[in-house]
Structure 1
């Protein structure tokens, strides 16, 4: 298996939302973006599927060294080999993205520092690391010129944090079963929902109200971030626009299913994903 095939299978297997979003990017940028999504998936799997914090930190430390090897021109992992190859093909240089990649890794390190967050301001540091920084990287690597790349962080970071907020809604039950609850403690208390309710899959009118609030806030944040995307950047940012449309559609589906996310995985069908991503990428 070559490194491109590895990245495709890791980041965007056929039928996944990422698969359809990446297909909306320009053909020239798809291999590089796929490698970036694969790196994010590697870090996410390390953070969310490693129960022992010591083991998790050790794995992330290995990735930190591998990113340094990428900077030195000696990557060993298929994902970093793909990044090295396609960054060069795109005319980009690794040092330009070194700090952003390290910030992305630092965001996932937070999963081993805490599993609960007191309030939304406390949670935002995590959102900025795993969401805002990733969307900024996608936007920079999708941009056609230096001016658009320099402006990317201004509008892409809020979009990335909004997308992660949206992802928390359908993943709430799965995250809780893995010991992580991304609903702030003060919001659980406001709606009289406990962590035990989430872990033990207990539905209630209070839980429904909590989820209505979480869904509305995430939806509003995604729409606001999309509205802030410059008109000149919209064509080049079709991948991010498709991702946003898919997350919004999934929120609608969760709402239709009356927020039954604690015991099941609610998902869109592949044909719906294809249509939603294609349509979103072609809107003016």
Structure 2
């Protein structure tokens, strides 16, 4: 299996909504974004699938070394080899790839965030940096598109947090800021024990409104000259905002289940958004 095939399989098997936004890209850009996404999946899986914190930390250190090897032209992992190949056409700064790993490592160091400022750093590292790299792969002319990519990444991560509240709680993690739990009178124990309440619904509505605000900010920042090239991000936004609507319709019943869209629905949204341009 070639590095490119490995990355494609990693992307397809993840079941992520991101995969559907890649399908419309020209081959070279598709190869690059799949290499980037496969890298994100690899380092994220280290944290999610390794119960031994010391071992997970060691694996993330290995990946930092692998990014250095990518920069030096001597990668060992198929994903590293794929990143090196696409680096010839798309400059993916190693500093940003390393910052993504820094974000993943935050999951090993803390399971709570006191306020949104602290959470924002996490979201920036694991999502906005990815958005900046993706925007560069898609191509842009106006530097303001970087601001759009930053805010869109924030919106995506906030959507993930809303969707995964229950799943994260079963791993002992709560990403909703602790001061906001207190403001809405939702004890952390309610999240960990999957206990619904009117207060929890109000809390989740607040989280959703914040995510929607970031989507609105991102769309307002996207220059018209780059709208066509950035359509993959707009496809993802359409899928994720539809997911948010679905979660809201389900009255935020996210503690005991993972609400998602069917692949057919994602493809339909992707096609509709791509054609709309």
TM over 0.5: yes
Aligned equivalents of 1:92, 1:177: Cα separation in 2: 38
**1:124 maps to which of 114, 120, 131:** 120
Aligned counterparts of 2:42 and 2:188: Cα–Cα separation in 1: 28
Is residue 90–residue 136 contact of structure 2 (8 Å, CA) maintained in 1? Answer: no
Offset at 1:152?
A: 4.1
Matched, 1:140 2:124: no
- State the match for 1:7 in structure 2: 7
Q: Distance in 2 between matches of 1:221 and 1:58?
A: 34
**Equivalent residue for 1:276?**
269
Contact 2:22 2:33 in 1 (8 A): yes
Distance change in 2, residues 1:280/1:223 (3 Å): farther
| Kept in 1: contact 2:144–2:221 (CA 8 A) | no
1:109 aligns with 2:105: yes
Structure 1: gaps (5+ residues): none
SS in 1 for 2:150: helix
Q: Which ranges of 4 or more aligned residues in structure 1 deviate by more than 4 Å?
A: none
Following superposition, the deviation at residue 201 of structure 1 comes to 0.9
The question of whether the paired residues in 2 share the 8 Å contact of 1:12 and 1:34 is answered with no
Deviation at 1:24, TM superposition (A): 2.9
Pairs within 5 Å for 1:195-210: 195-210=188-203
Residue of structure 2 equivalent to 1:64: 64
Shift of 1:277: 1.5
Match of 2:90 in 1: 92
**Separation in 2 of the partners of 1:229 and 1:248?**
17
Question: Considering only aligned residues, what root-mean-square deviation do their CA atoms show, in Å?
Answer: 1.6
**Mapped contact 2:147–2:218 kept (Cα < 8 A):** no
Question: How big is each residue's C-alpha offset from its partner over 1:86-114, in whole Å with a ceiling of 9 and x where there is no partner?
Answer: 222xx2345xx111111111111111121
Structure 2 residues without counterparts, runs of 5 or longer: none
Q: What per-residue deviation string (whole Å, max 9, x for no partner) do you get for residues 152-206 of structure 1?
A: 4322112111210111111110011111111000111111112211111111111
Aligned equivalents of 1:176 and 1:24: distance in 2? 35
Matched, 1:193 2:189: no
Q: Do the aligned partners of 1:24 and 1:242 also contact (CA within 8 Å) in 2?
A: no
State whether residues 243 and 260 of structure 2, in contact with CA within 8 Å, keep that contact through their aligned partners in structure 1: yes
The answer on whether the counterparts of 2:148 and 2:217 sit within 8 Å (CA) in structure 1 is no
Give the C-alpha shift of residue 151 in structure 1.
4.5
Q: Does 1:157 find its partner at 2:155? A: no
Is the contact made by 1:25 and 1:236 (CA closer than 8 Å) also made in structure 2? Answer: no
